[in-house]
Amino acid sequence: MSTGRLTIDLDAVVANWRALDAMTNCKTAAVIKADGYGLGSVNIAKALFKAGVRQFFVAVAEEAAPIRAELGPRPEINVFSGHMKGDTAAIRDLNLTPMLNSVEQVTHHFETLPGHPFGIQLDTGMNRLGLEMQEWAAIAGLALDQNPTLVMSHLACADEPDHPMNPHQLANFHMMTDGISVPRSLSATGGILLGPDYHFDLTRPGIGLYGADPFSDGTPVIELEFPVVQIRDVAQGEVVGYGNSWQAERASRIATISGGYADGIIRSLSDRAIFYHGKTPCKLVGRVSMDLMTIDVTDLSEDPKALSLICAEQTVDDVARRAGTIGYELLTQLGGRYTRRIYGK
């Protein structure tokens, strides 16, 4: 087939969840937003549910529908974006738990779905989502009287362990929540790695489940390889690809592989990415185009049938660093054309 092949190891996802769970003495949920960070939320949720996970988080209500359809009524599915005006029917019918982020959301939820489960998200300094300190002080009594399932916040710099923002947000979270009887949650993957002071009653690992930084001890979850469509000889001085951006300094052998920015291999990897044939690195030359990339395979002892981008020799974070981005972006940009081979169903 002329499409790339994405191999997903669900057993590795489960192993990563168990490893992160073992670092805490509290409950551990799982974040499966953005279609399970690009890897398929339904299959990931099924594997984690089988392993014992009973609390999931998604970004928006629509993401919960296929999870609820697959897993039924048992797991708790929380929605980070809260309760938007168009979400009421979905929150009710799918039995979702919105994390209410503003006074307006709190009011809307209580008016439209009285008695329906909800959580509260607080802003402890990130200035993105959540009730600010003064807002929380004004409505805390009212909100707590309605028995929220969770009070949470989110760390801005947890992937930098020594960043002063971490203890600052921790202190604010204590200031805003100490003394309440509702379960509390502050940490995603990075916060788990900061240690028990940040764990509270529930942690919410996301990126660590998928084998990427900052959980450097995690088990790799994916492999990504692309088939070679054509191999040609290029004479010294000839050019390759759009814009003549690469010129051969020697007689070269160039493999054209099926994949490009339509498949999430972002254009900033042009002239930077390294592919592997076994353990041998091969440089991408010229620009990443929509559907094709050109790789210098001159030094290989045989013509390759496929070349790997994410593999034992190179992690998703290695590739991300070459692109000037992070593993989160590469994972969530993986397109729909890949042949997906899934282990551990």
Active site residues: 33, 242
CA nearest to 123, candidates 179, 160, 82, 162: 82
Task: Kindly write down the DSSP assignment for every residue of 201-222, as one continuous string.
Answer: TEE---GGGGT-TT-TTSPP-E
Contacts of 167 (CB under 8 A, 6+ apart): none
CA nearest to 151, candidates 142, 140, 166: 140
Distances (CA, A) of 53 to 31, 41, 47, 164, 204: 11, 14, 9, 32, 11
- 153, 169 in Cβ contact below 8 A? yes
The SS3 assignment for 119 reads strand
CA nearest to 3, candidates 217, 232, 254, 260: 260
Q: Which residue has the tokens 């307006």?
A: 104
Distances (CA, A) of 114 to 108, 110, 143: 10, 5, 12
> In a 10 Å sphere around its CB, with 0-12 CB exposed, 13-18 middle and 19+ buried, how is residue 53 labelled?
buried
335 - beta bridge partners? none
Instruction: Report which DSSP code applies to 340.
Output: E
The SS3 assignment for 35 reads helix
Annotated binding site for substrate: 128, 290
